[in-house]
Amino acid sequence: MSRYFDHKVIWVTGASSGIGEALVKNLAKNSNAKIILSSRKEKQLHWVAEKSGLNADRYAVIPLDLKDYKEMPGIALKAVQQFGRIDILINNAGLSQRSLAMETDIEVDKQLIDTDYIGTVALTKAVVPYMIENKGGQIVVVSSLMGIFGAPMRSGYAGAKHALHGFFDALRAELFSQNIRITMICPGFIQTDISINAVTGDGSSQGTMDDATKNGMPVNIFARKMLYAIEKQKKQKAIGGKEVLAVYLKRFFPDLLAKIIRKAKVV
């Protein structure tokens, strides 16, 4: 890692486990950045910060729940007050799904939209004015390959992630003159608890790990690749194993991808 992240204030949501935890550990080890950690689990956030070796003057913990989107302006103000600014916002928190579309209660679809889309947009809108005042910044959004194409058992999740791409593509153009850059990260199968925590058709958690997730890219390797993409200010980067080839199939051979997805094991 270069010194790109040095002397920056970086806010990581979903920092209590998985990708967020791996990002915090990597940034703590390889930079002198100040880090704000957020998720619903305050105790776990402190544990991640301490396990990462962060001194008390290098981190702050701010709990948040993306579903409480109306609270984001106040939470953003609290975050800015910690270190005076936000240089990089990493929108990593989110929720996945494992259920057929017609077996999914509409309230579950709404939960996915509120968490994965509305909450992320609300937090971003709350932070952007501070970045404009600071004459620049970077917004990173952890989307998914499901933000580029859909697959069975992910209908509501794919819908929410597709919405993120539309919003942040537009925002990227609007904020370019303000020196604010936007990077979309699209993970494939990464070894995290995402499938364990995924909601099913009735809103309950799946509680088990998918084989594809279990055999996916180790999260520490993913985090290094993601931070490199952020450093290079990539507009969009798919990261994972062979499943990322589907991005190119979607663009150049969409009919072939449709046939593959119909037959693919997606859990």
- Structural domain range at position 146: 9-263
Does residue 232 belong to any structural domain of this protein?
A: yes
C-alpha span between 63 and 78 (Å, rounded): 11
Does residue 2 belong to any structural domain of this protein?
A: no
Q: Is 228 a catalytic residue?
A: no
Does residue 3 belong to any structural domain of this protein?
A: no
Q: What is the reported pLDDT for 1?
A: 62
Does residue 118 belong to any structural domain of this protein?
A: yes
The catalytically annotated residue of 59, 117, 130, 157 is 157
Element containing residue 13 per DSSP (H, E): strand 9-13
Beta-carbon contacts of residue 165 (< 8 Å; ≥ 6 apart): 143, 147, 148, 184
Contact 202, 158 (CB under 8 A): no
pLDDT tens digit sequence for 111-133:
999 999 999 999 999 999 999 99
CATH number for the domain that contains residue 240: 3.40.50.720
Does residue 1 belong to any structural domain of this protein?
A: no
Contact 64, 41 (CB under 8 A): no
Buried b (16+ CB within 10 A) or exposed e, 233-252: ebebbbbbeebbebbebbee
Enter the tokens of residue 114: 């509120």
pLDDT tens digit sequence for 84-97:
999 999 999 999 99
Q: What letter does residue 67 receive in the DSSP assignment? A: T
Q: What is the reported pLDDT for 87?
A: 98
Beta-carbon contacts of residue 218 (< 8 Å; ≥ 6 apart): 190, 191
pLDDT tens digit sequence for 174-222:
999 999 999 999 999 999 999 999 999 999 999 999 999 999 999 999 9
Split at pLDDT 50, 70, 90, the class of 224 is very high
Does residue 27 belong to any structural domain of this protein?
A: yes
Closest by CA to 6, choosing from 36, 27, 24, is 27
pTM for this prediction: 0.96
Element containing residue 172 per DSSP (H, E): helix 155-175
User: How many domains are there within the chain?
Assistant: 1
Q: What is the reported pLDDT for 110?
A: 98
Does residue 196 belong to any structural domain of this protein?
A: yes
If 0-12 CB within 10 Å is exposed, 13-18 middle and 19+ buried, where does residue 230 land?
buried
Split at pLDDT 50, 70, 90, the class of 267 is low
